[in-house]
Structure 1
Amino acid sequence: MGEPYEVGFRLGRRRSSVPRARALLHAVLGSWGVAGDVVDEAELVLSELVTNALRVRVPKDRQVGVRIVWLVEDRLLRLEVSDAGAGWPEVQVPEEGETHGRGLLLVEAVAHQWGVEKREGGIGKTVWATLKTPNCVAEAAEREIAAVTVRAGQCVRVWGTWHGVRSVSGEWRPSGGGAVVLVLDDGPALRVPAAEPLTVRNGTAPSRAGEGAVPG
């Protein structure tokens, strides 16, 4: 199976985190080449999962974790939202006229599958949902994407040459902004703003010979 596309970030416990999650999801899926109705469905599902996580009672300093994974060969998009609260959510059928309690009903109706599992490496839980992605386009050989969507195994063009990306770390700060640290196959690690555009491509970085490298 091919390497999955994956990105994660954390959100503060505030109302503005719901539209922020949608905006980040939209940017990530666009850079991956995921297209069609699945984008709208993913935004709806993620909005409901983040909204539910924000309603859970947790210590003030606990954030909401979001992880987006595209399993290309399986044609599945997996959305995960983690919180540090106790208890597991259940689908509820609200009374006629009630305006709350329909979140998981929507998730169940839209998602291919969904579930809850114990949160890895910490207290709380992770609620996940998968969506089928039949409407996808192939990636261009070389393209410009936001730094936050770069993943290990790609090549990034910096300092006038191509460098393989060994690992990616960094998270969005609750107040906005944030940075991404790219550990490259040679040279110093690269620290850039999360939204900064970088030129990337898949595959092994070519030999430096004859590329006319520009000193950093």
Structure 2
Amino acid sequence: MISELIANAVVHGSAGLDEPIFLWFEGSSECLRIEVRDSSAEPPTVRPVEPEDESGRGLWLINELALTWGHGPRDDGPGKRVWVSIAPAHMGLL
């Protein structure tokens, strides 16, 4: 999920090559929250994919695998934040 969030930020989220992308982790024994911040305010969208599509499954995978996910405006500057929450029990790890 981290690679999908970062790839989406690079491909769809950065306003320019010199704009930073930030990655945050926040965890407890019950849940891990992963957040990516970029400089674009354009919201992420889950799009329908066909079996023959070679790309475009990132948010679909996140939607299927994450406990929860969402997006919103950054509170530390222009752009947005996209986050996922995962839990060991939810991922079949316990």
TM-score between both structures, scaled by the size of structure 1: 0.39
Shift of 1:60: 2.6
Share of identical aligned residues, percent?
Answer: 32
> Which of 9, 17, 22 pairs up with 1:60?
17
Counterpart selection for 1:70 from 27, 35, 58 = 27
Match of 1:105 among 30, 36, 60: 60
Structure 2 residues not aligned, in runs of 5+: none
Check conservation: 2:41, 2:73, Cα contact below 8 A: no
Match runs of 1:15-26 below 5 Å = none
Tell me, yes or no, if structure 1 residue 84 matches structure 2 residue 39: yes
Question: Separation in 2 of the partners of 1:49 and 1:96?
Answer: 21
Given residue 106 of structure 1, which amino acid in structure 2 is its aligned partner? L
**Gap regions ≥5 residues in structure 1:** 1-44, 137-216
The correspondence of residues 15-54 of structure 1 with structure 2, limited to 5 A, is 45-54=1-10
Offset at residue 133 of structure 1 (A):
2.5
Q: Deviations over 1:71-123 (max 9, x none)?
A: 23xx0100001100131011011233111111001001110000001111101
Equivalent residue runs for 1:1-216 within 5 Å: 45-56=1-12, 57-72=14-29, 75-134=30-89, 135=93
Question: Could you tell me how far apart the structure 1 residues matched to 2:73 and 2:28 are?
Answer: 21
Equivalent position SS for 1:116: strand
* In structure 2, C-alpha distance between the alignment counterparts of 1:103 and 1:113, rounded to whole Å: 15
Mapped partners of 1:132, 1:98: distance in 2: 29
Aligned length: 90
Structure with more contact order per residue of length (Cα contacts < 8 Å, sep ≥ 6)? 2
After TM superposition, the score normalised by the length of structure 2 is: 0.86
**Alpha-carbon distance in structure 1 between the residues aligned to 2:54 and 2:84:** 23
- The 1-side partners of 2:50 and 2:65 are apart by 21
CA distance in 1, matches of 2:27, 2:51: 37
Return the letter of the residue paired with 2:22: G
Read off the aligned partner of 1:60 and give its amino acid letter: L
